[in-house]
Amino acid sequence: MDDLRKSICIGIPCYSTLPSYQTLEDYMRFAYYLGRRYEEYDFFLAIRGKKEQFRARNSIVEEALRAGCDYIFMLDDDQIIDIDKSMLASSRYLFLKKLIGHMDADPGMGIVGALYYQKGDTECWPVVMQKNSTGGYFFISHPEIAGGMQRADAVGGGAMLIRASVFDKIGSPWFEPELDLGTDIQICKKVEEAGFTVWCDTSIEIGHTRSDREVVTSKTIKALKRSYADAPGYENSELCTICKGDCCKSMPACAMPIDFLPVTASGLAEKLKTGKWAVDWLDADTMDEPSDSTVNKAYFIRPAVRGADALCDTSKQGECVFLGADRCELEFSDRPSGCKHLEPKDGGCLARGGTVRDAAMAWAPYRGVIEEAINAAS
Ligand code: SF4
Ligand code: SF4
């Protein structure tokens, strides 16, 4: 091997189920490009079965270091590079050259990722994370995507280039069980603590497959995102008439940002001033969340509890102010998302979305807006 040639290990942790046929076809085309259009580099392929993600990732790093690679590109088995599905020649497969170029140009850069979106069916956040004031990690919002190189505190492990020399400075095991933090946040945190920087090139977009037919990209998010506003929710007026709001008597359900569009500090302040709405926050301890979780001490909005005058109220227990004599005073379509997604059932209703955790995640990008609203309404 020519000593001046850079070598890159492509590491793919694989689930036991077969990936989408689109990914299989896409990665074969990527391999073709690596052979034909990346002639200045040497590549190694490390594929590891993934029962526990951290073991697969550690094993990929071990192989890469043993082979003397300069960089390790972690690629998950549910991504798609050619999101245009051109089936022809595509410059999208040259994205890795761009990432390598960033690394070559800045020796202080420890990790650089490409942009992709969460494949869950609600918010589809960009998988680019920043730390909040309490040290928890949260996804940046869609308008914060710069379309170029931007600093991040963590990037998604599904498309992440790591400088191999960072592993000289951080001790093994590099990746650990995902008890508190995902493996991507773990490694970005360690790399930053070792003095390297973490970046995302958000001009490079990779698709995230949800199924054979559904690939989440910036172009498909609108159609694939089942927002709380679009989802019909669950209504069973017969059962609810008999029950007369058992849940509503013990704790109001959560509202989501989609219930207050456009979300502005002045708009929220007006709602808070009515006394019908309150700011609550997720307390990681009581929710059995790790203390450095993304959503620790994350604000969200919910209907106020009858008799509780506090603007910020974490008492959680009590009757919702919107509960009338025998039913909710709000029309079904006007209820907070958490209420619409409570499925009435004999023997106990089921929360199908809009839970406290969902709300904390959804409101995380609006922390500053909520703080401003609290000040304005106090
Ligand atoms: S949603 Fe469930 S708890 Fe609420 S009123 Fe209907 S049946 Fe009762
Ligand atoms: S808004 Fe209506 S449905 Fe929701 S908790 Fe309050 S009373 Fe119940």
**Nearest alpha carbon to residue 225 among 125, 140, 138, 115:** 125
Residue 285 — pLDDT band, cuts 50, 70, 90?
Answer: low
Topology of domain 6-224, CATH: Spore Coat Polysaccharide Biosynthesis Protein SpsA; Chain A (3.90.550)
Q: Is 45 in the pocket of ligand 1 (CB under 6 A)?
A: no
Strands 350-351, 342-343: pairing is antiparallel
Q: What is the DSSP code (8-state) at residue 140?
A: P
| Residues with C-beta less than 6 Å from any ligand 2 atom | 245, 248, 252-253, 303, 320, 322-323, 328, 330, 335-336, 339
% of the chain with per-residue pLDDT over 70: 90
Q: Which atom of ligand 1 is nearest to the CA of 328?
A: 5
Query: 122 or 29: which carries more pLDDT confidence?
Result: 29
Residue with CA nearest ligand 2 atom 4: 339
% of the chain with per-residue pLDDT over 90: 54
pLDDT in tens, 341-367: 888 887 777 777 677 877 887 887 788
Residue with CA nearest ligand 2 atom 7: 323
Predicted local distance difference test score (pLDDT) of residue 86: 81
Predicted local distance difference test score (pLDDT) of residue 287: 46
Q: What is the mean pLDDT of residues 186-194?
A: 97
Predicted local distance difference test score (pLDDT) of residue 363: 86
Residue 295 — pLDDT band, cuts 50, 70, 90?
Answer: low
Written in H, E and C, the secondary structure of 54-110 is HHHHHHHHHHHHHCCCCEEEEECCCEECCCCCCCCCCHHHHHHHHHHHHHHHCCCEE
Distance 322 CA to ligand 2 centre (A): 6
Please check the confidence at residue 294 and state whether its pLDDT lies above 70. no
Q: Is 247 in the pocket of ligand 1 (CB under 6 A)?
A: yes
Query: 107 or 245: which carries more pLDDT confidence?
Result: 107
Q: Which residues, 6+ apart, have CB-to-CB distance to 187 below 8 Å?
A: 57, 111, 157, 160, 162, 174, 175
Contact of 125 with 137, CB cutoff 8 Å: no
Predicted local distance difference test score (pLDDT) of residue 99: 98
Element housing 44 (H / E): strand 41-49
Q: What is the DSSP code (8-state) at residue 347?
A: T
Residue 292 phi, psi dihedral angles, 5° rounding: -105, 25
pLDDT in tens, 122-172: 678 899 998 876 677 888 888 889 999 999 999 999 999 999 999 999 999
- Candidate ranges 69-83, 224-238, 320-334; pick with highest mean pLDDT: 69-83
Q: What is the mean pLDDT of residues 278-283?
A: 85
Give pTM, 2 decimals.
0.64
**What is the Cα–Cα distance from 315 to 254, expressed in whole angstroms?**
14
Q: What is the mean pLDDT of residues 261-271?
A: 91
Place of tokens 């401003």: 372
**What is the Cα–Cα distance from 47 to 30, expressed in whole angstroms?**
15
| Angstrom distances, CA of residue 173 to CA of 58, 61, 136, 235, 330 | 7, 10, 22, 50, 53
> Which ligand gives the minimal distance to the CA of 301?
2
Side chain identity at residue 374, one-letter code:
I
**Measured distance between the N- and C-terminal CA atoms of the chain, rounded to whole angstroms:** 68
Per-chain mean pLDDT for the chain: 87
**Nearest alpha carbon to residue 174 among 58, 70, 73, 67:** 58
**What is the Cα–Cα distance from 153 to 200, expressed in whole angstroms?**
9
The gap from C-alpha 285 to its chain's centroid, in whole angstroms, comes to: 21
Query: 208 or 181: which carries more pLDDT confidence?
Result: 208
Q: Is 245 in the pocket of ligand 1 (CB under 6 A)?
A: yes
Q: Which residues, 6+ apart, have CB-to-CB distance to 293 below 8 Å?
A: 136, 180, 284
Q: Domain segments of the chain: what residues?
A: 6-224, 237-377
